[in-house]
Amino acid sequence: MGAGDYAPPVPPPVVDVLAVLALAAMLAVAFAHPRARVELAVGLVAAGVVLACGAVGPAGALDQVRLLFPVVAFLAAILAVAELCAVEGVFAAVGALVRRAGRGDPRRMLLLTFAAAAAVTAVLSLDATVVLLTPVVAVAAAGASVSPRPLVHACARLANSASLLLPVSNLTNLLAMPSLPLSFAGFALLMAPVWVAVLAVEYAGHRLYFARDLATRGRADAAPEPVHLPVVPVVVVALMLVGFAVLSPLGVAPAWVAAAAAVALATYSLSRRRVRVAAVVHAAHPSFAAFVLCLGVVVAGLTDTFLGDLVRRAVPGDDSLGSLLLVALVATVLANLVNNLPATLLLVPIVAPLGVTTVLAALVGLGVGSGLTYTGSLANLLWRRTLLRRGGHPSGRVFHRLAAVVTLPAVAVGVLVLWAWAPVVGH
């Protein structure tokens, strides 16, 4: 999908430079997150540059768009589902439950936030955790007079680390699925112990890093109001999850299931006049979906550049424990160098011939490892932007210090568990 099947009209060194600049421009836009039309315009220009210079040919670009389109369609649908759940009060109810059940104990509230963030990330994807769950746990912390830092940083960390469980939990997983001979349930079976182990490391890291914050008890409500979790959205999301598991072996793409859930929730919310049609369309973020397609074209142009060569040379040729750890490390470095979405598009085709376990080790690095820096994952950037828009003051120093303590141990433990567990289930 790169220059191998297309003769570049400009010298190869210039092609390399232009492809890297195109990717840098798109990452800068992702960091700044300007208006939708600006985001889309930059994506189209960047994709046009790699096409014009010959970094990727028209056929290669079209192949990449075809590969990405089902993933992008799922992204749009699941974003709409999450936003509609928020409209119906699901996330507000979760925040209220964290506050009520926490009873002013910051350690208990942290544990409840971990459970909520892990579930939301696994089912509704990481964007829902950083954009919709983070504000409500911050409000819960303020209401209980406890430090919000452990809770909001748990949302940031788990948006990446808790995305290992299901194919639909993260775009990186969905992008890798065509290279994996696994069903929805098969993926979950392989990754469930890895997910639990990584969450345990994350929790231990939070307890250690935020020990002072967690030592100060807040106040419990004398007469807490009952928490009313909206029934219809919860049922729709549960049916959506069942649909993923049941229909995936039949060849039904997750995008169709998520789209059906989005339509059901939109119909329900529209009938109650809780939302307008324009808001439903906006909730799907169509401009961002187009941006991701353009990003795929740009990354296709990078495949045959020096960056692709460096990655191919760094990847080992077997699936021993040492090799799996190296693959996860390469994935971590690459994710934090160019963001985990481009890193997935670049790395997965290279490691796919090495087998299922190697691809899953790469996903550990691309998921958990992307929490090392702000630029490692779009979720990190969205988390920061969400807090700023809500009047919060996210500390880059705290974010990166916590990441330095937790990320690499969590990646290593995740790969170790994967290496031990995969042969047990026949991989």
Residue 380 corresponds to which amino acid?
Answer: N
* CA–CA gap between residue 158 and residue 128 (Å, rounded): 11
Residue 79 corresponds to which amino acid?
Answer: L
Confirm if 342 and 302 have CB atoms less than 8 A apart: yes
The percentage of residues in the chain with a pLDDT greater than 90, rounded to a whole number, is: 58
Cβ neighbour number for residue 56 with a 10 Å cutoff: 32
For range 248-260, the mean pLDDT: 91
SS3 217: coil
pLDDT of residue 6: 54
Distances (CA, A) of 153 to 32, 273, 381: 21, 34, 13
pLDDT digits (tens, 9 = 90+) for 315-326: 998 889 999 999
Distance of CA 362 to the CA centre of its chain: 14
**15 or 373: which leads in pLDDT:** 373
Q: Is the pLDDT of residue 3 over 50?
A: no
pLDDT digits (tens, 9 = 90+) for 112-130: 999 999 999 999 988 899 9
- Could you say which DSSP state residue 170 is in? -
CA angle 135, 139, 140 (to 5 degrees): 115
SS3 203: helix
For range 174-199, the mean pLDDT: 94
Cβ neighbour number for residue 268 with a 10 Å cutoff: 18
* CA–CA gap between residue 165 and residue 68 (Å, rounded): 21
* CA–CA gap between residue 366 and residue 334 (Å, rounded): 8
Give the list of residues 6+ apart from residue 280 with CB closer than 8 angstroms, or none: 80, 84, 262, 266, 269, 270
Confirm if 195 and 162 have CB atoms less than 8 A apart: yes
pLDDT of residue 223: 57
Q: What is the pTM of this model?
A: 0.88
Confirm if 292 and 341 have CB atoms less than 8 A apart: yes
